[in-house]
Structure 1
Amino acid sequence: MPNHDTADSPGAISRSLYEQGMTDGLPVHPPTEDAVAEMLRGTARDRDHVLGRLGNNENALTVEKLASNAVMAGCLPPYMPVLEAGARALADPKSNSIQVSVSTGSWAYQWIINGPVREELDIESGTGAFGPNFHANRTIGRALGLAYKNTANLRPGEKDMGVMGNPFKFSLLAGENQEHSPWEPYHVTHGYDAEESTITLAGPNSFVQYFPHENTADEILKGMVRNTPPSMVGGEQQGGDIDQTIFHLVNRYNAEELAGIDATKRDVKEYICENSYLRTEDYQKGSLWDGVLRRHEGKGSPLQVAQVDDPEYVKVVTVGGPGRVNAIVGPSIGGPVTKRIEFPNDWDALVEEYALDRRWFDGVTY
């Protein structure tokens, strides 16, 4: 195919980066010196500050490298504090990000944003939050994926060995719909103050949506168990080196209906755990590892085993707009890891400078 771009045109630079394996296959913004310098206005850290080390070779992800990938992904400078916190989550050994990134299982990076930063950066948590349309949701997730890919030098068939690949690899990011949830936010459940902003990373390989049979609390709970595939196992795996978790994304109406019977998040998690038993042969088909079965060695083969070992391996988050559709995401083979988002002193002014005017937005808060 002939290339009609000049050597220094945005199209030619994007093409060159693709040919070097540095993109996700979509066009990117050229990470010129000026563009990277502008992105760095979003951080108070030095450009050579190491946020963490990624991949088998523990390559350093610096603030400058993160900013370069953020430019390519189309991010705005005010997004940098979120990106830096996300980078720290990727570098945390508890996230198991290396296996998420390279395993044949084709895992994705799942991001949940909590706190005031959602409104300040227009990170969507309502209608279509995990879908297309929303600039911050799409570009932040893309930038963090590109940063891992390019820092760890991941190439498909060389290091990234995902058999099928995963369409959610760089795009599974949403805010929690705290304003329309009857429960405390995810980050508060995990020890943060409500006014703090956080980003949470998990590593799932499946995303399943379903309608509850009836919108009663009893049927909603049954539906959460019934619609969880056998492959979504929650518990200690591989001798406890890796934990698998399952995220239940609950729409605001179903969350309110559960709260109507005074069901807390903890109650929901306990119900799922207590009612998650599978036939042993089904568990074996769905499980990646046999941790639960090994614990029964010498005790005879059980007819049933728990799909979820403990309520803590179930995570409940309110996401989405009006409507009664829920989703189950998992199993996650890393984390979840939550990091506090830290802001530079002049960040509010930068947010105002770069505010996007979504003229297609109807002004209704979902």
Structure 2
Amino acid sequence: MSNQSQKEQSLEEINQSLYKQGLTDGLPVIPPTEERVEEMLRGTDNPRDHVLGEIGNNENALTVEQLASNAVMAGCLPTYMPVLEAGVRALADPDSNSIQFSVSTGSWSYQWLVNGPVRDALDIESGSGAFGPSFHANQTIARALGIAYRNTAKIYPGEKDMGVMGNPAKFSFLAGENEETSPWEPYHVTNGFDEDDSTISISGPNSWVQWFPHENDAEHVLRGMIENTPSSMRASSGEDLNATITHFVNPYNAEELEKGDLSKEEIKEYMVENSYQKTGGNSRSILENEKVGPLQVRQYADTDAINIVAVGGPGRVNAISGTSIGGPVTKKIEFPDEWESLLEEYSVEREWVPTEGFYD
């Protein structure tokens, strides 16, 4: 958008025009003027026309400049560009299956997890309310990636996006892992990255459930992880398509699992071995068939289909996200040469959330 057109139009007129063209997510946006896009591009060393990836069923190319424009509209800071670029690479990875959860009738969402030092550098929240409102980086990074995908792949509800109900998580579904309170190695380390690496991971769930254990010990937490998984969520890994479920565990329950001397892998193994569910067959179908199928199946078919992530603040509420029909895919975040100076320029310290004593 040129400076001249900005002068000629009011903010309301610009938003109305962008909305009419299908370039927004329905919420007001910041006009992507030349100056604002240019400032956003300070967050990358890649040229404007560099293609970050091809996305959508028509393999539309998404360039750095296009990403910067969408980032401006979503309200991002230039310091967010390295995370956004890695996010686009994750979306463009065929293993993410992003086109499927962008258009399916199941109303899937884009679920993002950030690991490593970039969490502190950009104030990406991983504690209390991490998936909720109030945190600028969490909200705008996820929003920008969603708008960029939508605008590049030209996905509109009822045309390509056939989600029957739609999903509010498509606006923003991003948190950092609370690595500092976790008794386990961070998610990105589990998936082959170094602890000092900064990464962003994507998966595509369509449901979200919160729950708390009846008693606060390892056995009840383990049982709760299985019993509170809806029957509609099924998990199994495979070469063609992963169907995965993610468990977000709060610091207190994570500590109780640690007291039970349970590793991530042991927790997953327990869930696989103890997650049998009835198949739902009725007596008529059994009588009319010569061969009777199994009356029970495992809700969690194998450990590779289970993700365990430490997220959240004080309290014993956990969450289950799934089933994801894409990913998870994790990409390393690469930073520009002037990253540190840019951080100093755009540093914002919140005064409205305590930073000490949360877990004392």
Q: TM-score range by the shorter chain?
A: over 0.9
Task: Give 1:15 deviation, angstroms.
Answer: 1.4
Task: Give 1:174 deviation, angstroms.
Answer: 0.1
Q: Does 1:318 align with 2:315?
A: no
Name the residue aligned to 1:173: 174
Q: CA RMSD in A?
A: 1.6
Name the residue aligned to 2:267: 268
C-alpha separation between the residues in 2 aligned to 1:124 and 1:50?
29
C-alpha separation between the residues in 2 aligned to 1:324 and 1:96?
33
Name the residue aligned to 1:91: 92
Name the residue aligned to 1:362: 354
Name the residue aligned to 2:135: 134
1:364–1:210: structure 2 CA closer, same or farther, 3 Å change rule?
A: same
Total equivalences in the alignment = 346
Q: Does 1:8 align with 2:9?
A: yes
Task: Give 1:57 deviation, angstroms.
Answer: 0.8
Task: Give 1:11 deviation, angstroms.
Answer: 2.1
Task: Give 1:168 deviation, angstroms.
Answer: 0.2
C-alpha separation between the residues in 2 aligned to 1:363 and 1:303?
51
Q: Give the fraction of aligned pairs with identical amino acids, expressed as a percent.
A: 66
Q: Does 1:304 align with 2:296?
A: yes
| TM-score when normalising by structure 2 | 0.93
Q: What SS does the aligned partner of 2:146 have?
A: helix
C-alpha separation between the residues in 1 aligned to 2:351 and 2:251?
26
C-alpha separation between the residues in 2 aligned to 1:71 and 1:340?
23
Moved more, 240-249 or 122-131: 240-249
Amino acid corresponding to residue 274 of structure 1 in structure 2: E
Name the residue aligned to 1:69: 70
Task: Give 1:359 deviation, angstroms.
Answer: 2.4
CA contact (8 A) 2:237 2:302 kept: no
Amino acid corresponding to residue 243 of structure 1 in structure 2: N
Name the residue aligned to 1:200: 201
Task: Give 1:101 deviation, angstroms.
Answer: 0.4
Q: Does 1:242 align with 2:241?
A: yes
1:64–1:6: structure 2 CA closer, same or farther, 3 Å change rule?
A: closer
Q: Match for 1:329 among 316, 321, 328?
A: 321
C-alpha separation between the residues in 2 aligned to 1:32 and 1:319?
36
| TM-score when normalising by structure 1 | 0.92
Amino acid corresponding to residue 155 of structure 2 in structure 1: L
Task: Give 1:352 deviation, angstroms.
Answer: 1.0
Task: Give 1:7 deviation, angstroms.
Answer: 4.6
Name the residue aligned to 2:190: 189
Task: Give 1:236 deviation, angstroms.
Answer: 4.2
Task: Give 1:364 deviation, angstroms.
Answer: 2.6
Amino acid corresponding to residue 268 of structure 1 in structure 2: I
CA contact (8 A) 1:204 1:333 kept: yes
1:199-248 per-residue CA deviation (whole Å, 9 max, x = no partner) reads 000000001001111111100000000000011100147xx521100000
Q: What SS does the aligned partner of 2:169 have?
A: coil
Q: Does 1:343 align with 2:335?
A: yes
Name the residue aligned to 1:40: 41
Task: Give 1:332 deviation, angstroms.
Answer: 0.3
Name the residue aligned to 1:102: 103
Name the residue aligned to 1:163: 164
CA contact (8 A) 1:278 1:304 kept: yes
CA contact (8 A) 2:74 2:143 kept: yes
Amino acid corresponding to residue 165 of structure 1 in structure 2: G
CA contact (8 A) 2:237 2:304 kept: no
C-alpha separation between the residues in 2 aligned to 1:247 and 1:101?
19
Q: Does 1:58 align with 2:50?
A: no
